[in-house]
Chains A and B, each alone.
Chain A
């Protein structure tokens, strides 16, 4: 029993999958056994977008206390609008869309890093205010465009094989790679070291500034790609398309077992957390409960996860 408890403490992500399973079972049972597979595959599809943004958030959170990226939703919408607008529905302009996504993601990431590391603005304030500026650019730009995404991109975003969304397959692979990078690569170790103690990491010879730069840029890049794919999925960019992602990108990471104070991550847990939160909202819909209940429950669950999972042992 003790060994099992220790293993569960190591593998915190198991809980998020267990939660997702329970929520899914309740949904299926209360719907009289119908739509079990459809609920799950739809869940995979939607959860994949949370996972994509959540991976970036996880990297940032891993960098230690105070590190958080609140510009994710604004980057998503801006990248979605600018990239779809640049391609203007033309499949041969796909490269331009990708360039725009990389440019938006890269530059916002660098702005965040500059604000945090050079101007010494706390990450929460820096990314939030960078987000506001992006949002205002998006609003100005959105008035001039009503472009549709190129067909090929839409097909990719909604494509399925045997009912499983392509995007979900890509992100399962991506999460597996991220998991390997975090546990076994030099970069992953360096990041986890910075997250536990930036001072100790610096004195151990780790290039702390480079690590911080990489995670913020990676987070913005992932957010930009998420924005493009979400716009393609829904047939065009919309100003409110990412409003969920501010809270969700943080919630899926925390529920998945990543420590909010940094230094401990779980890439698999992002999938568990995303599936759990998506399936929970499905369940509440099936049970006839609205968005208000969903937000309330999400909040309670995050508090419960933090209260139960963080180690209270003194260092």
Chain B
């Protein structure tokens, strides 16, 4: 065994982006059949390290060996693939206008010649069946017609599909954030099983429990460095949070103060009798009507793609123009999407321009906006939400994903809108930033705003006063916060509403 060199050895890897030090002398070694978790706050350097490993970013300094041999200076994605290093991206990389099988061809160039299409179908179909039994995805479906969860399943299956060059190391950057609970479970079990075939995985996830339960060891990164490495067995998510930094704990106490147990702080909400938002879908056969009052945080749960997003979009549309049938919206609405690349940021602009775009009318004088007013507003929100940047005039793309997301949330909060629609707003946001933002959201709710939160992460629901669970476009359960349990949400998510409410009653 000792004569077999480790699969990957990196030592002293550094990388700067302009003045930002993304990686500061990082060491990393990965053997065969090695399951490694990587955790850290946004901007800790996880994604940069993975980018160097998969060949999309060139290192500035450091040694990088694969199979004991130094990689060439022009190391790129192709060479990485030739070594069997594959990636599942945090942002989906499938081509939306092609079918599942055709997308398989895109990353597997040896699917060629006559019959490549059926070969591709066979390969991806086999991978899907292995990882996600009963996935129900049609291999000839066009990707844009699939739900986000199904797309992520295809993405994952593509990376693990076996061709002439089998995968040896798969880099998984938040692979489960877009998967629904069941698929995430299937997938994590699969990577543990695939270790028996000698496949190594690098798992980056903000769901710390996933990492602790499914890897051998965990590497903790902070400020571009590896600060800790632990064996995963016996490790608790709390211990990991501690290793990542102390910020998260301070926030925890704040949560506890603001949220005593029980049904919680309903006073501001009770003063306002009328719902600002109501959706009666009972005429279409639904049993429970949706309402949300000022001062409330209302959660939408259920498996991904069961109508939660449609409700958010219908509310937004109805706030702008004529209301959809059965929907009453009594206030202006603002929308925050977690899909920041497609639905959030303006990539050519500064942080300040991105933040103020929705409130320009308010700060304009004679139709013109002064740079000073704009930047003052941006600076104010920077300090309120703790957006990490020395200068609000820096490009938005200079921020890490979590901080970009804070800018988008600030954009919505800064407007006059009393209804804030949160569409999976914490995607790719680290634990402590997430807590800070939920603290802020609760304060804003207490001041009379109304939040509707759709999230794919069950633990975020604890921030809500009430939760509606969706199943196939209908609400199957309404759960007040003090009755919230993962079992009830899960039961209702699979349409077992009666049992769920019977169990509660």
Contacts and interface: CB of A to CB of B under 8 A. Distances in A.
Nearest to A199: B343
Interface of A: 180, 184-187, 189-190, 192-193, 196-197, 199-201, 203-206, 259, 263-264, 313, 315
Contacts of B83: none
B335 interface: yes
Chain A residues touching B, majority SS: helix
B439 interface: no
Contacts of A200: 337, 342-346
Contacts, number: 70
B331 interface: no
A167 B315 CA distance: 50
Contact of B361 (A186, A199, A313): A186
Contact of A315 (B320, B341, B358, B369): B341
Given A184-B368, A189-B369, A196 B349 contact: yes
B392 to A, nearest CB: 16
Given A197-B346, A197-B347, A204-B411, 16 more contacts: A185-B369, A186-B369, A190-B357, A192-B346, A196-B348, A200-B345, A203-B316, A203-B337, A204-B357, A205-B358, A206-B358, A259-B348, A263-B348, A264-B348, A315-B341, A315-B347
A50 to B, nearest CB: 26
24 contacts: A180-B368, A184-B371, A185-B368, A186-B367, A189-B357, A192-B346, A192-B348, A193-B346, A196-B346, A196-B347, A197-B346, A197-B347, A200-B337, A200-B342, A200-B345, A200-B346, A203-B343, A204-B335, A204-B358, A204-B411, A205-B334, A206-B358, A263-B348, A313-B397
A263 B360 CA distance: 17
Contacts of B357: 189-190, 193, 201, 204, 206
Nearest to A196: B346
Contacts of B316: 203
A23 B358 CA distance: 44
A24 B415 CA distance: 51
A193 B357 CA distance: 8
Contacts of B342: 197, 199-200
A105 to B, nearest CB: 23
A186 B364 contact: yes
B353 interface: yes
Contacts of A315: 341, 347, 397
B3 to A, nearest CB: 40
A-B complex: 6 closest residue pairs judged by Cβ atoms: A196-B346, A203-B335, A186-B360, A315-B347, A184-B368, A204-B358
B342 to A, nearest CB: 6
A276 B180 CA distance: 57
A252 to B, nearest CB: 21
Interface string B352-372: 010001101100100111110
A161 B110 CA distance: 71
